């Protein structure tokens, strides 16, 4: 091959390539793909939202709403009493123990109360339970509780004195 032939080979223009155009077909596929993903995600969200929440958080929410002013008044009365309380969840061996102590403003233990607690998961129903706490010593009330799942548990305590004075307390515990 001579020099002239090699130069002419190098000067040959490459074969023309087809120019790729964005056509209406490509646009239609892009739009349908975009909205398909959006609609698919919305369907997934609706499915999970309707299958993970029952929609009912309280049996008597309407009545509680009507009695809201009495609830506010009871909270004010409780605050004015200046009672000190403690609500604890203790692990004793393989069992869990809810203990509640109540003292008056002079730091004297209050005895003779009827104490009940409602224990449940804040976001998952089906594990709710109501317990009556027994007085183990003056001013201290206890009961064992079965908490089958780890995570947050909500405890609503209601105590009534022998004279009829109510006491309410709510607390959340994290079980490991």
Reported residue count of the chain is 176
Asked if 140 contacts 98 with a C-beta cutoff of 8 angstroms, the reply is: no
| 57 pLDDT higher than 70 | no
What architecture is domain 84-175? Sandwich (2.60)
| 92 pLDDT higher than 60 | yes
Asked if 140 contacts 113 with a C-beta cutoff of 8 angstroms, the reply is: no
Q: Mean pLDDT across the chain, nearest whole number? A: 87
pLDDT at 70: 87
Q: CA-to-CA distance for 60 and 4, rounded, in angstroms?
A: 99
Residue 52: pLDDT band (50, 70, 90) is: confident
Residue 25: pLDDT band (50, 70, 90) is: very high
Domain boundaries, the chain: 84-175
Q: CA-to-CA distance for 44 and 149, rounded, in angstroms?
A: 27
| Cα dist from 86 to 21, 99, 127, 162, whole Å | 74, 8, 24, 20
Q: Of 11 and 133, which is predicted with more confidence?
A: 133
Asked if 118 contacts 156 with a C-beta cutoff of 8 angstroms, the reply is: yes
């Amino acid at each position: 091959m001579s020099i002239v032939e090699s130069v002419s080979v190098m000067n040959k223009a490459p074969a023309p390539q087809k120019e790729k155009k964005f056509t209406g077909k490509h646009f239609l596929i892009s739009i349908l793909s975009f909205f398909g993903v959006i609609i698919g995600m919305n369907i997934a969200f609706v499915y999970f939202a309707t299958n993970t929440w029952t929609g009912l958080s309280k049996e008597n929410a309407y009545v509680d709403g009507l009695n809201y002013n009495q609830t506010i008044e009871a909270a004010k009365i409780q605050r004015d009493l200046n009672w000190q309380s403690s609500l604890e969840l203790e692990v004793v061996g393989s069992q869990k123990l809810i203990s509640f102590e109540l003292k008056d403003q002079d730091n004297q233990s209050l005895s003779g109360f009827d104490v009940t607690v409602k224990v449940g998961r804040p976001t998952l129903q089906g594990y709710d339970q109501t317990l009556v706490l027994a007085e183990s010593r003056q001013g201290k009330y206890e009961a064992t509780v079965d908490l089958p799942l780890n995570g947050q548990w909500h405890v609503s305590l209601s105590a009534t004195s022998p004279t009829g004075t109510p006491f309410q307390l709510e607390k959340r515990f994290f079980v490991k």
